[in-house]
């Protein structure tokens, strides 16, 4: 059993909630996640749209995961958002870390217009989080920036290799320190709540893929 969890390096503000939370789970796992830690690879991905596909392909080749979940921050969100699909479109309103701003380009030429996520029983994850008083929802739009791009790369890799890998993407709200420093009016979610949400999602998916492992 191999699991890949990714976040993104900081872009324009020097802090990315997805990197902070992924590193926190790696270095200080929750109780739910600790029993699965030796199955999991944590990876922080570059914020460069032109080099992202190569990094994704190399990472998936090395890890060969059964489960791959990307994490990205979503300024303006007040709950955990589980994404349904990834689009074959890059349209950047803001620059990436390398200063690129593609307008209306395909993520992968000559590939399907979109892919559905392949997580198991995704709707039940919302109920699970809400039962723990964590706001959550299903999202039908992953945007057209780096989060959508990496999600599409994961799913395209799965499709072209006829893999059974389960793939999902989760958008998380920004952290309180980002509101204090940069976005005074933005909704946010405390680090510990976000950590708990992701731990529940990851552990539940692991358990459904391999029922022989301990339950959440």
Dump pLDDT digits (tens) for 138-183: 999 999 999 999 999 999 999 999 999 999 999 999 999 999 999 9
Q: Which two tokens stand for residue 19?
A: 């990197």
Q: Which two tokens stand for residue 213?
A: 């492992």
pLDDT confidence of 214, banded at 50, 70, 90? low
Is 68 tagged catalytic? no
Give the integer Cα–Cα distance in Å for 172 and 137.
11
Burial class (CB in 10 A: 0-12, 13-18, 19+), 123: exposed
User: Mean pLDDT over residues 8-35, rounded?
Assistant: 93
C-beta of residue 172 within 8 angstroms of C-beta of residue 187: no
pLDDT of residue 212: 86
**What is the number of domains present in the chain?**
1
**Catalytic-role residue among 83, 145, 153, 156:** 83
Is 171 tagged catalytic? yes
Domain range for 56: 3-213
C-beta of residue 172 within 8 angstroms of C-beta of residue 72: yes
* pLDDT over 50 at 216, yes or no: no
CATH number, domain with residue 65: 3.40.630.20
**Catalytic-role residue among 19, 68, 147, 156:** 147
pLDDT in tens, 26-69: 999 999 999 999 999 999 999 999 999 999 999 999 999 999 99
- C-alpha distances in Å from residue 96, one per residue of 33, 43, 63, 99: 31, 18, 26, 5
Q: Can you give the pTM of this predicted structure?
A: 0.96
Is 142 tagged catalytic? no
């Amino acid at each position: 059993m191999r699991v890949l969890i990714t976040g993104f390096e900081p872009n324009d503000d020097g802090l990315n909630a997805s990197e902070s939370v992924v590193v926190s789970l790696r270095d200080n796992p929750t109780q739910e996640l600790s029993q699965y830690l030796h199955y999991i690879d944590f990876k922080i991905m570059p914020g460069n749209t032109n080099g992202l596909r190569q990094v994704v392909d190399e990472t998936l080749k090395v890890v060969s995961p059964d489960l791959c979940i990307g994490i990205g921050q979503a300024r303006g969100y007040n709950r955990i958002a589980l994404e349904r699909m990834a689009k074959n479109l890059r349209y950047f309103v803001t620059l990436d870390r390398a200063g690129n701003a593609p307008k209306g380009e395909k993520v992968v030429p000559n590939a399907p217009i979109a892919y559905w996520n392949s997580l198991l029983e995704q709707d039940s994850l919302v109920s699970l989080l809400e039962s723990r008083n964590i706001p959550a929802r299903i999202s039908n739009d992953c945007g057209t920036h780096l989060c959508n791009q990496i999600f599409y790369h994961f799913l395209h890799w799965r499709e072209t290799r006829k893999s059974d890998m389960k793939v999902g993407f989760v958008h998380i709200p920004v952290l309180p320190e980002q509101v204090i420093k940069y976005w005074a009016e933005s909704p946010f979610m405390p680090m510990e709540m976000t950590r708990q949400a992701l731990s529940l999602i990851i552990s539940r998916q692991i358990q459904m893929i391999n029922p022989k492992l301990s339950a959440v």
